[in-house]
């Protein structure tokens, strides 16, 4: 049987997208790892799956798998590609699309200029909800990593993020500390490790070592978490431009309890089919 898929990306964070509304497939971690391989497979950071919703008030169910085959709760760049995909494939004609994810409901708004805004819902800071091991909620925490103590913020955007402020992102050892933070024992489900360099009150640079993938060219939920952490710590003011290696995302957040709005592009690369 041949399975149709679309290769897409959001600022270089790349995806294989499969429509399981009109097709059928049994996925498993081994198959996903095989497909994600950049030399012997299709190559992607995440596999995105479009399914019918369980909740009748929603338009679709959105499932996300990291390149290592693990299923995760949320993916921001993927959400924008999801919106572009369901419109291009005529699975919906709506430009305001409600989607259920394992990380909670999100809303996708397709703008007239083709940019897509995602209402990611409110960030969560309660340690148990991230999950993160801490005595009580705080704006920043001391985290022992290798031979140093980092000051970090812990945020859930549906998925877990740890954000560290750094002076110079060009020389910071993202690929040495990223894997140690990703599997740190205080984050029992693992974590996405973001490293942010402030530019001014409305902009920052960010690199993210993603859980289950490694460093990616962009991370949408990572950009939301970094902007929120920076606003909460008093360094940034909404709206915030987050510059990632693959490009820039616009993030707006009005404060605790309010949803995070993320705006950026979604790009189709090619159509393919693979034998199952």
Ligand X SMILES: N[C@@H](CCC[C@H](N)C(=O)O)C(=O)O
Considering only residues 123, 220, 230, 265, which one is a binding residue for ligand X as defined by CB under 6 A? Answer: 220
The site for ligand X, by CB under 6 A, has a size of: 19
Counting contacts by CB under 6 A, is residue 192 touching ligand X? yes
Q: How far is the CB of 13 from ligand X (least distance, A)?
A: 5
The site string for ligand X over 111-150 (x = CB under 6 A, - otherwise) reads ----------------------------------------
Check 81, 162, 219, 224 and give the catalytic one. 219
Catalytic residue status for 162: no
Q: Annotated binding residue at 175?
A: no
Check 75, 81, 162, 224 and give the catalytic one. 75
Q: Annotated binding residue at 28?
A: no
Q: Which residues contact 60 (CB under 8 A, 6 or more apart)?
A: 21, 50, 51, 52, 53, 82, 86, 91, 92, 97, 99, 100
Q: Annotated binding residue at 13?
A: yes
Q: Annotated binding residue at 117?
A: no
Q: Which residues contact 26 (CB under 8 A, 6 or more apart)?
A: none
3 state SS of 150 = strand
Half-sphere exposure of 154 (CA within 13 A, CB side): 26
Could you say which residues in the range 73-92 bind ligand X, by CB under 6 A? 75-78
Q: Annotated binding residue at 66?
A: yes
Half-sphere exposure of 22 (CA within 13 A, CB side): 9
Where do the DSSP E strands lie in the chain?
A: 2-10, 13-19, 46-51, 60-66, 71-72, 96-100, 106-110, 116-119, 141-145, 148-156, 160-165, 192-200, 203-210, 214-216, 240-244, 247-253, 260-264, 267-275
Please identify, using beta-carbon distances, which residue of 161 and 232 lies nearer to ligand X.
Answer: 161
Considering only residues 221, 227, 228, 264, which one is a binding residue for ligand X as defined by CB under 6 A? Answer: 221
* Contact of 8 with 30, CB cutoff 8 Å: no
Query: Under the rule (CB under 6 A), what is the footprint of ligand X?
Result: 13, 45-46, 66, 72, 75-78, 159, 192, 210-213, 216, 219-221
Q: Which residues are catalytic?
A: 75, 219
Binding site as annotated, residues for substrate? 13, 46, 66, 76-77, 159, 192, 210-211, 220-221
């Amino acid at each position: 049987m041949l399975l149709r898929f679309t290769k897409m990306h959001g600022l270089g964070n790349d995806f294989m997208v499969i429509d399981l509304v009109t097709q059928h497939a049994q996925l498993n971690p081994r198959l996903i790892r095989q497909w994600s391989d950049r030399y012997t497979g299709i190559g992607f950071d995440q596999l995105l799956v479009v399914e019918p919703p369980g909740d009748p008030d929603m338009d679709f169910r959105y499932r996300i798998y990291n390149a290592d085959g693990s299923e995760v709760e949320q993916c921001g760049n993927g959400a924008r590609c999801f919106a572009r995909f369901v419109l291009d494939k005529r699975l919906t004609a709506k430009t305001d699309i409600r989607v259920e994810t394992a990380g909670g409901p999100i809303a996708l708004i397709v703008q007239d200029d083709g940019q897509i805004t995602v209402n990611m819902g409110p960030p969560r800071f309660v340690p148990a909800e991230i999950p993160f091991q801490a005595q009580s909620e705080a704006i920043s925490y001391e985290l022992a990593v290798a031979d140093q103590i980092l000051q970090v913020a812990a945020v859930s955007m549906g998925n877990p993020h740890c954000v560290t402020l750094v002076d110079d992102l060009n020389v910071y050892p993202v690929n040495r500390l990223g894997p140690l933070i990703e599997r740190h024992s205080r984050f029992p489900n693992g974590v996405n490790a973001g490293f942010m360099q402030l530019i001014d009150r409305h902009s920052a640079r960010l690199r993210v070592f993603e859980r289950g993938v490694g460093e990616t060219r962009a991370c949408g939920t990572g950009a939301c978490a970094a902007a929120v952490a920076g606003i909460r710590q008093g360094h940034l003011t909404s709206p915030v431009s987050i510059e990632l290696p693959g490009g820039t995302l616009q993030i707006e957040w009005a404060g605790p309890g309010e949803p995070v709005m993320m705006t950026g592009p979604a790009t189709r690369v090619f159509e393919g089919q693979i034998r199952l």
